[in-house]
Amino acid sequence: MDASQAAASDKSGGWTIGIANREITNDYNRLIAYGAQDILEAAGCEVIMTDAETDFQKHNENIETLLNSGIDALIIQLGDNEQLAPLCAKAKEKGIPVVTAGIGSHIDNTICDTNADDGLAAVLLADAIFSGIDYTGDVYIFYVPGAPLLENRLAVIQGVAAAYPNINLVPVATEHNVSKVQTQMEELLTANPEKGSIAAVIGTYDSLITGAVESVRQADRSEIVMGGIDGDEVSFQMLFTEGSPFQVSVVIDASSIGATAANTILGVLDGSVDPSTVAAKIPTACYCATRRNGVEAAEMKWGAEIWEKINMSREDVEAAYPQNDNLLVCYPTVP
């Protein structure tokens, strides 16, 4: 145990922990941020939370402020690797342990990145979407440039698509803005009016395409297969809405991402965890939710109360969509 760890250990749980969020705009962000906060506060920590509202510069400034505020440790949710690297180096100089969440790759001078296995999730989504269109047709995928997590998902899906010569995967650059994506989707529908001219639409995260899903539904283009990643509450609402083109969501156990980040920080601070022994990336489980297993998938992530939250009846859903498929929870293989 080095001097900074020893000093932190002497506080016996009364640590001040910073949680810097690039944004808290959807269920994925909220589950990570507040999941970590709950565990830290239960351990007697004071938590200082920041939200940059998708502004990269503000996010970096928030981290800088936290590093100068006397915190004992820092959790960073989302961000650009290159921009975060010097900030994490500064944290190292100050003796502040850092865990990242949802970054997608390890940053020097941090303990680890806790995250979904985005490669696994992206492969599951690609396989589901591509099989749903018989591996043929034009597929549009919405992503946000400069968001490493989404760029990673895009790259994996491009790799899968490359194996199928009859699939034409078209990346659509956008922003973290549902209205903008909806407008872009409407433009695509106008440019491709014939049924079958758009085979599928993918969102690199579910809530990004909520408006697009509604536009496709209203245009009566039910032949278009849509899906994404995260398994938010709204994902299941889209999945089970009559006439919705949204057919698959790869569900991420986001709560465990935040919990793992918090527990790793606590272990390092109390000396029970040697940071040098922690894996650079700690991934969580994921599973593919469709209309044939979505009831179990929804309750696995959100509990039985989800039906009230999304204003749907479980009984009606099961009557409309028989639950005939098993739910397969996938865990990444790590050595």
Label the pairing between strands 286-289 and 329-330. Answer: antiparallel
Could you give the residue ranges of the DSSP H alpha helices within the chain?
3-9, 27-42, 56-67, 81-93, 118-132, 148-161, 178-191, 210-218, 233-240, 254-270, 294-302, 306-309, 314-320
Predicted local confidence at residue 13, as pLDDT:
65
Contacts of 321 (CB under 8 A, 6+ apart): 240, 291, 292, 294
SS3 of 199, please? Answer: coil
| Predicted local confidence at residue 256, as pLDDT | 92
Q: Which amino acid is at 325?
A: D
Q: What is the pLDDT of residue 118?
A: 87
> What is the side-by-side strand order in the sheet with 16-21?
46-51, 16-21, 73-77, 98-101, 112-116, 281-284
Taking the CA of residue 293 as centre, how many other CA atoms within 13 Å lie in the half-sphere pointing to its CB? Answer: 17
- The single-letter DSSP state of residue 173 is E
Residue ranges and CATH numbers for the domains of the chain are 3-115+254-283 (3.40.50.2300), 118-252+286-330 (3.40.50.2300)
Give tens-digit pLDDT for 229-243.
999 999 999 999 999
**pTM, whole model, 2 decimals?**
0.86
pLDDT of residue 160: 98
Q: pLDDT below 70 — which residues of the chain?
A: 1-13, 333-335
pLDDT of residue 237: 97
